[in-house]
Amino acid sequence: MSIHVAVIGGGVGGLCLAQGLKQAGVEVSVHERDRTPTDRLQGYRLHIDPHGSQALHDCLPPHLWRRFVETAGFASGFGFVDDRLTPLMTLDVPEAAPERAHHSVSRVTLREILLDGLDAHFDRKFTRYEHVDGRITAHFADGSSVRCDVLVGADGANSAVRARYLPHAKRVDTGITAIAGKLPLTPETRAWLPRQMLDNPLSVIPRRPAGMFLAPHVLSGEGYLMWAYAADGFDASGDLKTEVAQAVADWHPDLVRLVRETPAVEVAHWPIRTSTPVEPWRPTTVTLLGDAIHSMTPMRGIGANTALRDARLLCRNLVEREPLDAIADYESRMREYGFAAVKASLRSARQFVSGNRAGKVVFKSVLRLLEAVPPLKRAAFREPAVD
């Protein structure tokens, strides 16, 4: 049976699904509310783990997969330090074939690659859908519409498709706020930034109830060092940079300088929200993927990877089975690993900003122990199994 799949949302998950379906000969169109491919896209890089890499490898045609591998950097490691920048543990990323490896990629470049060759329509803000004569009609704010057999809501955390399809599915505030900034990497800033901040992403575990994440992003030009400070109940109504600089005043002077020298225009705040598990629902030819169904805190860096995992599974199922059967199987598996990822991300977020002094002392001791005993470290940080 030949079907038309309409994907609402041209983010990481929706575009990966569309590429996979197109490769398999399924008619697919993407409908994105942004006016242009680079509209609103933040410059932050994405860490792609083996789940994401495998999905991109399986869904992209070979020439686009090669372009991804050539433009993405290999992630080499991850470190934990205290607020005096004393190393606690370093996690080395094992070497692996590109489709099982960790990569670091610019969001803009990834979107360019994922859009290549697709039937993608921009400036199409989805508003509603209706079932007509056994098919689905999706409507957009500009008055246009599309007829399809399967409608996939891949429209992100504030999904309009989810709001209509599963109105009881909720997202809640965690009470945690992250303030993020980008310090440009120039000859001047490189001269004083310590090597450890430039080599690998770092998680700073301070004595206080807060956390900071640092990630160097070296692009074709000079790049930047991204930092994100997070705390529970942070008052983001004042001058963000000054507030963070005060909060980290007794940390290592290079961390304080990092915040102080970041241009104010490069500092933004994100309230951290998370979805809550949804009870199984009766499958239909409307479905959801990625943040549209299981949005999570960014503290584990697995939201996009889980969206890519959804895309790979849903694509395979739609190619091999009848739509309803394909979606039923996809949804039952996606709910399990998707909401497990939501739970793990929330746990990481709470741990990141924890005010429990004893817990922090234990966590730091565990990290030092793992650093001292490599087999234990390998066992504690096993790579995710990709099916």
Ligand X SMILES: Cc1cc2nc3c(=O)[nH]c(=O)nc-3n(C[C@H](O)[C@H](O)[C@H](O)COP(=O)(O)OP(=O)(O)OC[C@H]3O[C@@H](n4cnc5c(N)ncnc54)[C@H](O)[C@@H]3O)c2cc1C
Comparing every residue's Cβ against ligand X, the nearest one is 11
Quick one: which of 179, 212, 304, 367 contacts ligand X (CB under 6 A)? 304
Closer residue to ligand X in complex, CB, 197/292:
292
Is the CB of residue 210 less than 8 Å from the CB of residue 229?
Answer: yes
Closer residue to ligand X in complex, CB, 32/243:
32
Residue 314 burial (10 A CB sphere; 0-12, 13-18, 19+): buried
**3-state DSSP percent of the chain in helix, strand and coil, to 5:** 40, 25, 35
Quick one: which of 20, 216, 303, 323 contacts ligand X (CB under 6 A)? 303
Which secondary-structure segment (H or E) carries 95? Answer: none
Q: Is 10 in the site for ligand X (CB under 6 A)?
A: yes
* Nearest of 297, 294, 303 to residue 338 by alpha carbon: 294
Residue 161 CB, shortest distance to ligand X, in Å, is 8
Closer residue to ligand X in complex, CB, 11/323:
11
The answer for 353, left when phi > 0, alpha when psi is -120 to 50, beta otherwise, is alpha
Stretch that binds ligand X, among 44-52, 183-191, 217-225, 345-353 (CB under 6 A): 44-52
Amino acid at 269: H
- String of b and e for 294-310 (b: at least 16 CB within 10 Å)? bbbbbbbbbbbbbbbbb
Quick one: which of 20, 206, 211, 290 contacts ligand X (CB under 6 A)? 290
Q: Is 13 in the site for ligand X (CB under 6 A)?
A: yes
Residue 376 CB, shortest distance to ligand X, in Å, is 26
Which secondary-structure segment (H or E) carries 29? Answer: strand 27-31
**What Å distances lie between residue 12 and 17, 75, 127, 134, CA to CA?**
9, 19, 21, 29
Quick one: which of 138, 291, 330, 353 contacts ligand X (CB under 6 A)? 291
Q: Is 182 in the site for ligand X (CB under 6 A)?
A: no
Closer residue to ligand X in complex, CB, 38/356:
38
Distance CA 259, CA 345 (A): 25
Closer residue to ligand X in complex, CB, 111/360:
111
Closer residue to ligand X in complex, CB, 78/252:
78
Stretch that binds ligand X, among 186-194, 243-251, 294-302, 350-358 (CB under 6 A): 294-302
Q: Is 160 in the site for ligand X (CB under 6 A)?
A: yes
Closer residue to ligand X in complex, CB, 16/364:
16
Quick one: which of 5, 6, 7, 8 contacts ligand X (CB under 6 A)? 8
Residue 17 CB, shortest distance to ligand X, in Å, is 9
Quick one: which of 18, 21, 22, 31 contacts ligand X (CB under 6 A)? 31
Q: Quick one: tokens of 38?
A: 């680079």
Stretch that binds ligand X, among 41-49, 181-189, 253-261, 328-336 (CB under 6 A): 41-49
DSSP 302-351: -HHHHHHHHHHHHHHHHHHS-HHHHHHHHHHHHHHHHHHHHHHHHHHHHH
Is the CB of residue 150 less than 8 Å from the CB of residue 3?
Answer: yes
Q: Is 75 in the site for ligand X (CB under 6 A)?
A: no
Give the footprint of ligand X on this chain (CB under 6 A): 8-14, 31-34, 44, 46-47, 125-126, 154-156, 160, 270, 290-292, 298, 301-305, 307
